[in-house]
Amino acid sequence: MKNLKQRLQRGEAVNGCWLNLGSSLTAEIVGLAGFDWVLIDLEHGAGGERDVLAQLQALEHTPTAAIVRVESSESQRIHRVLDLGAEGIMCPKITRPEDARKVVNGLHYPPHGNRGVAKMVRATGFGQHFNTYYEQSRDTILGVVQIETVEVLNHLDEVAAIDGVDVLFIGPADLSMELGIFGQFDHPQFREALRETVNAAQKAGKATGILFFNPDDYQLYHDLGIRMLACGSDATFVADGARQLAKRLTGLRESRAVSDFSSQPPAS
């Protein structure tokens, strides 16, 4: 484990991004790039659980911690990716405290949860260090619940107070959509929802997270007290890099065409 949970508990800012291509190669590239953590996305990403395993293996030798966003709070989804070696779970669309408690139950072994016990899994070194993993898991596995519905805004204090919920992570696209102000991240309603989320988390001694789309917004969110900060994804890195290079090459081609035309001798 790479101490992401302890770093957040100490109040450190940790920088991350999304992995949504389902590729072990882009996972390794991003893992070596200097991020503190990455989010392997099973909710909207291209890959499935089989691809999660390959991505976790690719990230193993990098300094980057691996969190997996599961599709729902169903315990079987949570158990499976934890057994594969994920260092934390993010669960979308939390609406009530009961949803958050269900997530936490899936994160931890009895008596603190209902996670199924299997020794011969990747997370425990295929049985070599199960006891150590069992003893340390409550202190190392990160529980992240997403704040992206209007209903959950009425239960922020209750959700934040749940033992095992470590991060309230704002989903800006879904939350702004539900508020009827899609994409208006500077709207007073959205900013107020951010402040309420941060306040609830801080009162409970928990962290807040957000995904944002412009690196220039980093200081804004950091100054609000948000410490789990994500920007970009492997898909956007590839798409942006490809578009920029293609645009540059097109410009060079057009400039050469003009130069070739101007250098032609005049017709006799």
Residues recognised as catalytic:
44
Compute the distance between CA of residue 150 and CA of residue 172 in angstroms, rounded to an integer: 12
Residue 232 Cα distances to 76, 164, 215, angstroms? 29, 27, 9
Q: Which residue has the tokens 């049985």?
A: 127
Question: What's the token pair of residue 52?
Answer: 């999660």
Question: What's the token pair of residue 229?
Answer: 């900060």
Contact 229, 218 (CB under 8 A): yes
Compute the distance between CA of residue 223 and CA of residue 242 in angstroms, rounded to an integer: 33
Question: What's the token pair of residue 24?
Answer: 């072990």
Contact 115, 109 (CB under 8 A): yes
Torsion of CA 115, 118, 121, 124, to 10 degrees: 80
User: Exposure of 180 by Cβ count < 10 A (0-12 exposed, 13-18 middle, 19+ buried)?
Assistant: exposed
Per DSSP, the three-state class of 109 is coil
Contact 140, 5 (CB under 8 A): yes
| CA 201, chain centre distance (Å) | 18
Q: What is the residue-wise DSSP string for 147-161?
A: E-STGGGGSHHHHHT
